[in-house]
Amino acid sequence: MDGMEKIKEILESWSGGWGIIEAQPVLRYMGEENQKKALEQVPGLSALLCCVLPYYAGEEEGNLSLYARGEDYHQVAGRYLEESCKQLEELFPGHTFRGYADISPYPEVYACARAGLGKIGQNGLLITPRWGSYVFCCIIACDLPFTGGKEPEPCRGCGLCRASCPGGALTEEGKLMESRCLSALTQSRGELTPWQEDLIAHSKRVWGCDICQQVCPENKGVKTSYIAEFTENITRSIEKQDLEGLSDRAFRKKYAGKAFSFRGIKPLKRNLELKEKKE
């Protein structure tokens, strides 16, 4: 088995799709500070191995965003990436491999789209053929001289995500205004304006959103994830009684391993109180 076949075997053992691209075009797309970080972290950076992790587990009612109901994807992706990097280092001795999932200098959606894994939606998300936009993007940066990649394709451009965004956060230019994004606001620990508070109070979520994905026609008929960490032991909702009497430390312990716990208890308590006042 040659090196490329072995890489395929390693990445296909866990990812829902993968591709290899040359790093230079992605570096040119990045800001100067992130370019510097990327090159410092992987000297001789030459290529990016791009992967997606599907997380869709159905759309049962709940006040938590679909992505946050299973295990925190940073932990899940981190385990897969760490193991893959170890295997790749054994396969290519003397070379460097470093994995990233979300906390990264790279524009992960753009890189994965360049790798042919999907189109870029008007909401800025990667839309894959099989899993829709319900995926996490992962990257393994390396110093191997691989080539490949092409300019990403846009989605069909129907505009439903922009029209349906409750805060009007999506611009025609494809930019996201975080100050109007319900998902960002539910996670914010800072002070909110009355308008922002009202937006949360009238939403179905106390963490995250999902609306721009739920209305997307390219998300119809998406496949359920095969990853147990995202489909088993899931938490669909958090209610006021779930948080009663909990300190921040106790909350983090109770919900350890969940993506909605990393900001602490305060945002969730605030959001639940805002919804209670509305009722």
226-267 pLDDT per residue, tens: 999 999 999 999 999 999 999 999 999 999 999 999 999 999
Name the strand (E) or helix (H) holding 38. Answer: helix 32-41
User: Are both 119 and 195 inside the same structural domain?
Assistant: no
Q: What is the DSSP string of 153-196?
A: PB-----HHHHH-TT--B-TTS-B-GGG-HHHHHH--S---HHH
pLDDT of res. 240: 95
Matching residue, tokens 């939403």: 203
Q: Which of 114, 142, 170 is the last residue of a domain?
A: 142
In a domain, 191, yes or no: yes
Q: Which domain holds residue 212?
A: 160-278
Average pLDDT over residues 31-53: 97
Instruction: Note the pLDDT of residue 130.
Output: 96
Mind listing the pLDDT tens digit for each residue in 114-125? 999 999 999 999
Q: Are residues 112 and 165 in the same domain?
A: no
SS3 19: strand
Query: pTM score > 0.75 for this model?
Result: yes
The answer on 250 and 203 residing in a single domain is yes
Mean pLDDT calculated for residue range 203-215:
97
- Residues 175 and 272 occupy one common structural domain: yes
68, part of any domain: yes
pLDDT at position 279, please?
64
Rounded to an integer, what distance in angstroms lies between the CA atom of residue 29 and that of residue 104?
A: 14
| C-alpha closest to that of 173 among 122, 114, 215 | 122
Instruction: For residue 108, give the amino acid letter.
Output: E
23 and 131 fall within a common domain: yes
Encoding tokens for residue 224? 């359920």
Contacts 24+ apart (CB under 8 A), 191-199: 197/274, 199/166, 199/167
In angstroms, the CA 87 to CA 8 distance is 12
Section 205-216 average pLDDT: 97
Average pLDDT, the chain: 95
Last residue of a domain, one of 75, 108, 142: 142
Q: Say yes or no: 74 and 175 in one domain.
A: no
Task: Say which of 102, 143, 242, 248 is annotated catalytic.
Answer: 102
For tokens 């001289």, what's the residue? 145
Mean pLDDT of 185-201: 95
pLDDT band per the 50, 70, 90 thresholds, residue 40: very high
**Is 248 designated active site?**
no
Residue 187 belongs to some domain of the structure = yes
- Residues 74, 134, single domain; the answer is yes
* Residues 110 and 174 grouped into a single domain: no
- If 0-12 CB within 10 Å is exposed, 13-18 middle and 19+ buried, where does residue 191 land? exposed
How much is the pLDDT for 144?
95
Q: Based on the domain organization, do 112 and 50 belong to the same domain?
A: yes
Quote the pLDDT of residue 206.
Answer: 97
In a domain, 150, yes or no: no
Same domain, 16 and 116: yes
Cβ atoms of 11 and 49 closer than 8 Å: yes
* 239 within some domain: yes
Closest of 159, 135, 158, 147 to residue 226, by C-alpha: 135
Asked whether residue 52 falls in the same domain as residue 178, the answer is no
Tell whether 151 is covered by a domain.
no
- For residues 117 and 176, membership in a common domain is answered with no
For 74-103, b where at least 16 C-beta lie within 10 A, e where not — what string? eebbbebbeebbebbeeebeeebbbbbbee
Q: Is the pLDDT of residue 172 over 90?
A: no
**Residue at which a domain ends, from 115, 142, 169:** 142
Counting the structural domains of the chain, the total is 2
Residue 154 in any domain: the answer is no
Q: Is 181 exposed, middle or buried (0-12, 13-18, 19+ CB in 10 A)?
A: buried
CA trace torsion 5, 48, 218, 158 (10° rounding): -150
